[in-house]
Structure 1
């Protein structure tokens, strides 16, 4: 159910991308505000209403809205970074992405530490209300977002040109015709001034509505056409196809492994929170290493090394599941901590090229929308990978009470890490992590 809800969330975000193109001159701050409100309201409702916390359906709806808000904010921020790279800081594409992920990792560390403390010392209603503080800070930060919409400038220039053109046409009308028309207007106005004003007001309103609907329809038509034209280009659909395949060909067994760590290894929730903190630190380290040492390496080589490393990192989980680490005197906690940190760090070597390459491939004019659509496709692939992992667990009869075939499942997942390597020809040969 969780995977299905997440799949619907990332599908809806593609519609949000199209709505962004319907208003080409609008800024992205309103989208951030809407996303923050969606993240804030569910926590507030769950903190104040105890009956909703006991209802499965109400809880699912509220948490879905909260996840939708978080995902929407994530996509909008990445789209704004893509636009900034295109217009202002093209030579610092990797640096901007690194700063963004450093900030996210720092926030993840603080959130994990706060969550671990809250679970151990606070009531559930207080925890939900405490979670409201973070979206409030995010809502306040929206006031400091400074963005200059190039499209708004273009629309203003177009309106000025249109007005001047209308004035020119009005000046070209002969004076005699204008005087005759003015005389006729005065005569008609004297006959029924009130009716004339009401009719003119109604006609103006109807014309406004018709023009607004036609404008939206025309914008939607152009948006779909631009996106289809962009995706027909091999330099765009080939890399995106690879990143999508890299998700759907590798089954995600993280949920099953979580149950194994809690049910078999008897690891406490507080320790798993600590492991998450270590994982965020590994993500920060991976971002630093990529930006410092791998920035000018070809993406094909980086992605190939990342998948090979992920396959070998699965050996750590194989050792833990087979309990071989106990024979060497290595505790389960150390294995889980190091495995989490290394896996998150190596995964960053795989995700940073996606972000930078996506920003480079976006054509001018639709950078933000196309990049947001790339992110939606990437996360949709991740969700489908979770479905594949659930299917593999079902075939192998792995569940929260039976882990006999978990070792076989991890081995299959390790071998699947080599499948995307065979399709690396879809990535541009000379593409690197730098736009220069």
Structure 2
């Protein structure tokens, strides 16, 4: 059929745009960090609390997934939610851009950031569901290439990374040249364009698997419950979320340390994040070409160890070890800090492919949304735990003597989940099913 043969290209266009726009979210968020620090004069703890609290709408992703699985809008259940997500984000950022700087309070800023993240979470749920549905369809149509189910995930990962590279690159230079409101206005314009494109796209052109349009939310909730009762799914999600939640996040503290104490220029921070996004892009290419045959458990465990090593390296950096060796602070921040930040996210790629393969047909949206919700909750817990850790070791916006100890504690807690990595099942990649139950030994 013509529609079937052309649908993969159309799906890539829709998903490519969606993931690129979400990757570009770093552009206004970089301005938010500086606006809160310099404009509203918040301290490092308040900055980190706001950063993590703004992610609360992400916790509702299972609900958004259930609704998108069960509630059809004009015969469609994915693309309309992409449009809705873009609309809510556009309203949020354009509203912040229009308000005068003197008229923006911390509570007003928090409200609009929550609205923007609500729209982002709805869009991400729809994007993830399309990836899961289309990925399975590609696998079933390519019996000679079972690993093709990971190709679409790698593609959208690259699209997001490209958006992140461009967003951080432009943001790092724009923050010194333009008011934050202008950056918010620019991103709001991009979201408006995405909204109008989405309302013009007909979902039947994507040739997604047909679902019963009369399936209610209660039925979808039952399907999700059945999926979550499968041990290989429940154990995997629990371990993966815990591997984030147990690590105290020190992003706000490090931001203040780099900008307040080291006086690192904003353009350097932008380049650092560009370097990290470029690493994410390379990771998706390397994974797609060379690592698809490696079990997710092996990859995720290796990434977890690498994260701990980078945290130890950060402790040495704060102590002046690299500075004494002649390595400038700017170079370390660009290379090591850039890589350290993205390590938190690159293990999501093999895990999302694992979950997509384990996911029963019909609840892709709700299950992937549940996974992203669990990760969002874990990130929020990690952020709050980081604030508590910073307070425990005596780190403030102007006092950083306890930061090396905090980083070493962070590294130790990062290694702890490895003792329970058997919760991640070993995937039989050649036949697209689980070969061993959680708890089995990896050979």
Q: TM-score range by the shorter chain?
A: 0.7 to 0.9
- Which residue of the other structure, out of 353, 366, 377, is the alignment partner of 1:356? 353
Query: Is contact 1:283–1:344 with CA below 8 Å preserved after alignment?
Result: no
CA contact (8 A) 2:169 2:270 kept: yes
Q: Is the 8 A contact 1:280 1:344 kept in 2?
A: no
Give the 3 Å change call, closer, same or farther, for CA 111–434 of structure 1 in structure 2.
farther
Distance in 2, matches of 1:97 and 1:302, equals 16
Query: Aligned ranges for residues 334-413 of structure 1 at < 5 Å?
Result: 334-344=331-341, 346-347=343-344, 349-413=346-410
Equivalent in the alignment of 2:317:
320
Given the alignment of the two structures, is residue 147 of structure 1 paired with residue 147 of structure 2, yes or no?
no
State whether residues 59 and 373 of structure 2, in contact with CA within 8 Å, keep that contact through their aligned partners in structure 1.
Answer: yes
Structure 1 residue runs of 5 or longer lacking an equivalent are: 156-214
CA deviation profile, 1:333-352 (whole Å, cap 9, x unmatched):
11111213433564455221
Q: TM-score, normalised by structure 2?
A: 0.78
Q: How does 1:33-432 map to 2 (within 5 A)?
A: 33-50=83-100, 53-89=103-139, 91=146, 92-142=148-198, 143-144=200-201, 146-148=205-207, 150-151=209-210, 154=212, 219-344=216-341, 346-347=343-344, 349-431=346-428
Q: C-alpha separation between the residues in 2 aligned to 1:55 and 1:430?
A: 50
**Could you say which residue in structure 2 is the equivalent of 1:2?**
50
Q: Does 1:19 align with 2:16?
A: no
Could you say if the C-alpha distance between residues 89 and 380 of structure 1 is closer, same or farther in structure 2, counting changes exceeding 3 Å?
A: same
Instruction: Show CA shifts across 1:389-408 (max 9, x none).
Output: 11211221212121111100
Shift in alpha-carbon separation, 1:433–1:72, aligned structure 2, 3 A: farther
Give the Cα separation in 1 of the matches to 2:103 and 2:171.
18
**Larger helix fraction of residues:** 1
Contact 1:18 1:223 in 2 (8 A): yes
Per-residue CA shift, 1:123-176, capped at 9, x if unaligned?
344333222222123224423464335445x55xxxxxxxxxxxxxxxxxxxxx
What whole-Å deviation, never above 9, does each CA across 1:180-235 have from its counterpart, x for those lacking one? xxxxxxxxxxxxxxxxxxxxxxxxxxxxxxxxxxx8xx823222222212111102
CA distance in 2, matches of 1:346, 1:61: 30
* Count of paired positions: 374
**Match of residue 176 from structure 1:** none
| Structure 2: distance between partners of 1:113 and 1:101 | 18
RMSD of aligned Cα (Å): 2.3
SS of residue paired to 1:418:
helix
Given the superposition, is the C-alpha separation of residues 418 and 376 from structure 1 closer, same or farther in structure 2, using an over 3 Å criterion? same
Name the structure 2 match of 1:30.
80
Gaps of 5+ in 2: 1-48, 141-145, 434-443
